Each structure stands twice: as C-alpha cells, then as structure tokens.
Amino acid sequence: MKSLLTAGLAMMLAAANPAAKVDDLAWMAGQWSREDGARWTEESWTSPRGGVMLGHSRSGRGADLREFEFLRIAAGEDGTPAYIAQPGGGAPVAFRLVQHDAASATFENPAHDYPQRIGYVREGDRMIATISRIDGSKAQSWDYRRH
C-alpha cells in the first residue's frame, strides 16, 4: 500500500511539473541589444523549431568587433534542455537547464572553468543575462533591450 501511495504521489508531481522542453524558453526569442557609450553587445535568438533555438552574440566598441559566440538550446541526452555555447566559434560547451519558469532560466555546468552558471530573466522588452561561478561569485550581467 505504501509503495502504491508513493507511486501515485510521484505521478501527480510529474503531472504538475512536467519535464522542461526547449519550447518553454520561447520567451527568449528576439533581437536584444545594449549600448554603453561606444561599447555595444547584441544577442539574438530564434523561436523554437524542431526542438532547437539558435542564437548568436557579438560585442564590440565603436566599429570594432571584439567578441562573438554561436549559441543553441537543444535537448541533451536525457531530454533536458541545454545551452550550448561556442565562444569565438570554438568547441561547444554545454550548460544544463536546472531551473526555469515563464520568464527566467538558469543553466549550469559546474565542471567548466568560467562561467559555470548562465541565467536569463525577461521583464517585458528587457532581458538580463548573467554569467557567474556556480556559487554566484564573479557575476557579470548584460541588460538588453528588445529591438
């Protein structure tokens, strides 16, 4: 009887909190930018399609490009969405989705040197991206506006 109750409770919890899907992150889609004097950063995300969101980021000063990154969000081997970054077009590094709701997402990879955590929060036409170590230290944020 006890195992039957435990199984029933587990099924109810699974139904109340279904596994995350890439489609749950559709709120990130769009073109986002920030400018601070001559410095600028842009980040773009496609809407989810075929279980994938594609993105890119680039930063610079004035007319000069300083950094770029290819991005994607896709289901990992266990089906949980992962944020996959390729800074400068290099080797991909995956960060597993560990928390999300209707307007925020947190991805983590504790084995990576830096960053280990990547977070996004959307508030209307504003999206804040933050990178940090797993404990939240060495945080850097970008406050984007939709355009």
- Quick: pLDDT tens for 111-133: 999 999 999 999 999 999 999 99
18 falls in which pLDDT band (50, 70, 90)? low
Say what the pTM is.
0.86
Q: pLDDT tens across 66-93, in order?
A: 999 999 999 998 999 999 999 999 999 9
106 CB contacts (<8 Å, ≥6 apart)?
Answer: 97, 98, 99, 100, 117, 118, 119
Cα separation, 139 vs 129, whole angstroms: 10
Q: Which CATH superfamily hosts domain 20-146?
A: Calycin beta-barrel core domain (2.40.128.20)
